[in-house]
Amino acid sequence: MNVAVVGAGASGLFVSGFLSKKNIDVTLFDKNEKAGKKIYITGSGRCNLTNLCSPEDFLTQVVRGQKFLKTAIYSFSSYDCVDYFENLGLKTKCERGNRVFPESDKSSDVIKYLQKFHCKDVNFKFNEEVLDIRKENDKFNIITSKNHYNFDRVIIATGGKSYQATGSNGAGYKFAKKFNHKIVPIVPALCPILIKDNFVSSLKGVSLKNVTLKVSGDKKSEFFGEMIFTDKGISGPIVLSASSFINRCDNVNLSIDFKPALNEQQLDCRLLREFEQNKNKELKNVLKNLLPKAIAEIFGNVVGIDSLKKCNSITKEERLSLIKFLKNFPISFAGLYDIDSAIVTSGGVDLSEINPKTFESKIVKGLYFLGEVLDVDALTGGFNLQIAWSSAFCCAKNWE
């Protein structure tokens, strides 16, 4: 039997190696000149290859495809993943939040071990873009930028549509549609959020730790941790998670709780103390004791209090307004950054048409879909790559 795998990314490399170990003749196509261009940029070049946790905990971090991925995650857990890479020779380490990285801190090592050892019997075809896939009788006819081929089966592992410079430009959706698969509309996930308030550009680069980003509107939730202002909006870990939560909502309200550890009463005591100790100072200068400088500068304006006002003339009402805004600083949602800035793509090949054990299409025999091209996505922390590894392992394990 001969198999074509389209896409030498995480899932394509992983499945190719396992199938070749079963003595299957595997040809792996990638339009790029080398394998794993997206793996290379993961984890800021360090590749957070998985997250060491139980399958139950893992699945709580999956945003779309939780039920569908259950079989795959249980058959190849993050512990299996670490064991597998270690056995290949790649030393790994586990950091804060159970995030696993190569000990070398080099994503290129992950690619190297996959390509050189895991895929040593795979026939690589680089610089060869798959342009079309047809099924004639029982064979798949693959038309590439260089040639025509016939294969018994085809695995589409072309990734999503974000960071297109890495090669994932959404071609997999086109192939899927051609074979009558439904595509769940794609939207950005794990991406920065656009904010329309004018003050945003003046806050560019300001980072916040231990704050809560509150989301309400169509859906309600809170995200605690770190965030940063960009020139057009906000980014950072809690913003990325929030984006995956709201990426299919129309009505979104956002606010920041700058002091989640303090309730309103405690915050009032804190303000009274600050004002008492700094009676003749301007409000904006005293707010610098509670907020980053750039935010303290604009805070009065947003609340509607003159920032130059002396603390001893701040009224009780004004103080209560300050508290209200410290706990609920509104920022106006203007949408998400575009799909190319997204860490992952939400949406893709409709899961109801894919067998969750084999990853074979229920519509076309011999056609398979793996990884981000499917309507699956998860939060940050190594979960998205683990989805690629697990889906690839499961497909190869149940190959008949």
Contacting residues toward ligand FAD, per CB under 6 A: 6-12, 29-32, 37-39, 41-43, 47-48, 129-130, 157-159, 162-163, 166-168, 171, 343-344, 371-372, 382-385, 388
CB of 100 to ligand FAD, least distance (A): 9
CB of 372 to ligand FAD, least distance (A): 4
CB of 85 to ligand FAD, least distance (A): 13
CB of 229 to ligand FAD, least distance (A): 20
Residues whose CB is less than 8 angstroms from the CB of residue 87 and which lie 6 or more positions away in sequence, other chains included? none
CB of 191 to ligand FAD, least distance (A): 10
CB of 203 to ligand FAD, least distance (A): 23
CB of 11 to ligand FAD, least distance (A): 3
Instruction: Between 164 and 266, name the residue whose CB sits nearer to ligand FAD.
Output: 164
Instruction: Between 157 and 246, name the residue whose CB sits nearer to ligand FAD.
Output: 157
Instruction: Between 167 and 236, name the residue whose CB sits nearer to ligand FAD.
Output: 167
Instruction: Between 12 and 300, name the residue whose CB sits nearer to ligand FAD.
Output: 12
**Chain length of the chain:** 400
Instruction: Between 7 and 347, name the residue whose CB sits nearer to ligand FAD.
Output: 7
Instruction: Between 200 and 378, name the residue whose CB sits nearer to ligand FAD.
Output: 378
Instruction: Between 172 and 300, name the residue whose CB sits nearer to ligand FAD.
Output: 172
CB of 319 to ligand FAD, least distance (A): 44
Instruction: Between 166 and 332, name the residue whose CB sits nearer to ligand FAD.
Output: 166
